[in-house]
Amino acid sequence: MARENAFPLIAIPLLFGVIVSLFPSVASITGVCYGMIGDNLPSKSDVVHQYQSYGILAMRIYKPDGDTFNALKGTDIDVMVGVPNEELTLYANDASAAASWVQNNILAYDGVSFKYIAVGNEVSGDDANNILPAMSKIWDAICSAGRQDRIMVSTAVRFDVLNNTYPPSNSVFSAPFMGPIVQFLNNTGNPLFANIYPYFAYVGNQGDIPLDYALFTATGTVVSDGQFQYQNLFSAMVDSMYSALEKAGGNNVPVVVSETGWPSYGGVGATVQNAQTYNQNLIRFLNYGTPRVPAYMEGYIFAMFNENQKPGDEVERNFGLFNPNQSPVYPIYFN
Ligand SMILES: *[C@@H]1O[C@H](CO)[C@@H](O)[C@H](O)[C@H]1NC(C)=O
Ligand SMILES: *[C@@H]1O[C@H](CO)[C@@H](O)[C@H](O)[C@H]1NC(C)=O
């Protein structure tokens, strides 16, 4: 990833006193996903001010939003913007439509620090066949505009694109659409965006997954995987992605965690205390990376606000770091 050469190689002393020199890495930035599925959320410009006042350096939004982009102009906030799933068929089949999307939503907003374009979020089923052609047409448009050194293009996948994730080194992509996507990402120097939720893994398998392993609070190794020792589930899940990437020819492809988080209410393990513990530890943890890739990594916490109109289980509406009136659900520090 030539564009990351500006960041110095770093070395981190591990527990055993070994010094490991690291990959070129992305900067250690914790972003926050700005979901807007609520009827009581603050104005876009108030939200941007809130990111700034909390020192939140990156924002993910799920589709282009002019008011938000205008509020972001002139700030240093890095932006990941989504191409909505329902538009992928169009761009997959029409390069000029993809170029117009880039023109109208990226190039038209001078002064916004666009960093990532997520072409689709958790796309599954037959629609997944549109990911690669849409992504490559959006990427071509970014390259034609000469922005390929500043803006990366990928898609955000669910953890269940993987199979055999225990232990992490066994992991493979089971979703057949992933192979060609990984080739594309490897060859173009783009990362993979992965939504990684230890919370849902824990809820689905409480018999095998201790809560402290999911919350980054285990005091020793919980899972041993050859040379790699895991003390937290987040790292094990990220390394499952890396292990599958490697097997699919993606040795060069970094993982950017495009969503992670813990709900504060509404289901098993969903308490204010657990949510605070998870998210605060995550912010710290992203500085060190995982056993397999012990380098700074980038992640986006889901989500900025509790969103009262999100469908689904009660927990879905309670992932926010903040209430809609902008008060914190619990104290959280970004640096
Ligand atoms: C996952 O792996 C198991 C065991 O290797 C296999 O039986 C199963 O079919 C795989 N599932 C998918 C969706 O590939
Ligand atoms: C991945 O990219 C690297 C360098 O960009 C290249 O050397 C390697 O052959 C690629 N791997 C595959 C499987 O395409």
Query: How many structural domains are present in the chain?
Result: 1
Q: Would you say residue 169 lies in a domain?
A: yes
Q: Would you say residue 291 lies in a domain?
A: yes
- Report the CATH number that the domain containing residue 161 is assigned in CATH: 3.20.20.80
Q: What are phi and psi of 100, to 5 degrees?
A: -65, -40
Q: Would you say residue 23 lies in a domain?
A: no
Within 6 A (CB) of ligand 2 lie 183, 186-187, 249, 252
Q: Would you say residue 193 lies in a domain?
A: yes
Q: Would you say residue 14 lies in a domain?
A: no
Q: Would you say residue 220 lies in a domain?
A: yes
A 10 A CB-CB count for 63 gives 16
Considering every ligand atom, which ligand is closest to the CA of 190? 2
State the pairing for strand pair 30-33/299-302.
parallel
The residues, any chain, with a CB within 8 Å of residue 27's CB and separated by 6 or more, are: 7, 296, 298
Residue with the smallest CA separation from ligand 2 atom 13 is 249
> Is 314 part of the annotated catalytic residue set?
no
Q: How far is the CA of 159 from the centre of ligand 1 (A)?
A: 15
Find out whether the beta carbon of 174 lies less than 6 Å from any atom of ligand 1: yes
Q: Which residue among the candidates 4, 86, 246, 259 is catalytic per the annotation?
A: 259
d(CA 267, CA 212): 17
Q: Which residue among the candidates 122, 246, 298, 316 is catalytic per the annotation?
A: 122
Task: Tell me what pLDDT residue 43 has.
Answer: 98
Among 158, 163, 172, name the best residue to mutate to test ligand 1's pocket (greatest count of ligand atoms within 8 A of Cβ). Answer: 163
Q: Would you say residue 334 lies in a domain?
A: no
Task: Tell me what pLDDT residue 28 has.
Answer: 52
Q: How far is the CA of 163 from the centre of ligand 1 (A)?
A: 6
Task: Tell me what pLDDT residue 93 has.
Answer: 98
Domain holding 150, by residue range, is 29-317
Q: Would you say residue 330 lies in a domain?
A: no
d(CA 132, CA 178): 9
pTM for this model (two decimals): 0.91
Find out whether the beta carbon of 183 lies less than 6 Å from any atom of ligand 1: no
Q: What is the pLDDT along the chain (335 residues), one digit of tens a residue?
A: 333 333 333 333 333 333 333 333 334 579 999 999 999 999 999 999 999 999 999 999 999 999 999 999 999 999 999 999 999 999 999 999 999 999 999 999 999 999 999 999 999 999 999 999 999 999 999 999 999 999 999 999 999 999 999 999 999 999 999 999 999 999 999 999 999 999 999 999 999 999 999 999 999 999 999 999 999 999 999 999 999 999 999 998 999 999 999 999 999 999 999 999 999 999 999 999 999 999 999 999 999 999 999 999 999 999 999 999 999 999 999 97
